[in-house]
Amino acid sequence: MSWPAMREAFVQALTELAARDDQIMIVNGDLGFGVLNDFIERFPSQYVNAGVAEQNMTAVACGMALTGARAYTYSIGNFPTLRCLEQLRNDVCCHAANVTVVAIGGGFSYGQLGMSHFATEDLAFMRTLPGMTVVAPSDPWQAYELTMQLYARGGPAYLRIDKGSAGLAAGPVEFGKVRRVREGEHAVIFATGAILSEALAAADLLAGQGIGVRVVDVHTIKPLDVEGIRAAVEGRAHVFTLEEHVVTGGLGSAVAEVCAEAAMSLKTFRRFGLEDMFPDVVGDQRFLRARYGLDAASIANVIRQILVN
Partner 1 sequence: MSSTEELALRLRRHVVRMCSRGGSAHVGSGLSIADIVAVLYGAVLRIDAAKPQWPERDRFILSKGHAGACVYAALAERGFLDVSALDDHYRNGSRLSGHVSHKGVPGVELSTGSLGHGLGVGAGMAFNLRRLGGKQRVFVLLSDGECDEGSTWEAILFAGHHGLGNLRAVIDYNKLQSLGRVSETINLEPLSAKLRAFGWHTIRVDGHDHNALRAALADAADDRPLCIVADTVKGRGVSFMENEVLWHYRSPQGAEYAAAMLELGVDVVASHA
Q: Which is nearer to partner 1, 60 or 296 (CB)?
A: 60
CA distance 107 to 273: 10
Closest distance to partner 1 from the beta carbon of 30 (Å): 12
CA distance 213 to 152: 34
CA distance 156 to 222: 11
Closest distance to partner 1 from the beta carbon of 201 (Å): 44
Among 6, 13, 59, 119, binds partner 1 (CB under 8 A): 59
Closest distance to partner 1 from the beta carbon of 236 (Å): 43
Closest distance to partner 1 from the beta carbon of 266 (Å): 41
- The interface with partner 1 within residues 1-30 (CB under 8 A) comprises 25, 27
Q: Which is nearer to partner 1, 54 or 225 (CB)?
A: 54
Binding mask 256-285 for partner 1 (x = CB under 8 A): ------------------------------
Residue at 297: amino acid letter: A
- Asked if the peptide bond before residue 4 counts as cis, ω within 30 degrees of 0, the response is no
Closest distance to partner 1 from the beta carbon of 54 (Å): 9
Q: Distance of CA 138 to CAs 9, 164, 193, 195, Å?
A: 12, 8, 4, 7
CB of 222 closer than 8 Å to CB of 133: yes
Closest distance to partner 1 from the beta carbon of 52 (Å): 9
Size of the site for partner 1 (CB under 8 A): 28
CB of 92 closer than 8 Å to CB of 58: yes
CB of 235 closer than 8 Å to CB of 267: no
> Of 29-37, 59-67, 170-178, 209-217, which part binds partner 1 (CB under 8 A)?
59-67
Binding mask 60-99 for partner 1 (x = CB under 8 A): xxxxxxxxxx-x--------------xx--xx--xx----
Q: Which is nearer to partner 1, 95 or 304 (CB)?
A: 95
CA distance 189 to 173: 18
CA distance 157 to 173: 17
CA angle 66, 70, 73 (to 5 degrees): 100
Among 35, 40, 48, 82, binds partner 1 (CB under 8 A): 48
**Helix count and strand count (H, E) for the chain:** 11, 12
Closest distance to partner 1 from the beta carbon of 90 (Å): 6
Q: Which is nearest to 246 in space by CA: 101, 53, 115?
A: 115
Among 30, 35, 55, 180, binds partner 1 (CB under 8 A): 55
Among 19, 51, 114, 183, binds partner 1 (CB under 8 A): 51
Among 17, 31, 40, 53, binds partner 1 (CB under 8 A): 53
Which residues are 73's β-sheet partners?
27, 101
> Of 46-54, 127-135, 179-187, 274-282, which part binds partner 1 (CB under 8 A)?
46-54
DSSP 50: -
Q: Distance of CA 34 to CAs 7, 19, 85, Å?
A: 12, 20, 27
Which residues here bind partner 1, judged by CB under 8 A? Answer: 25, 27, 45, 48, 50-51, 53, 55-56, 58-69, 71, 86-87, 90-91, 94-95
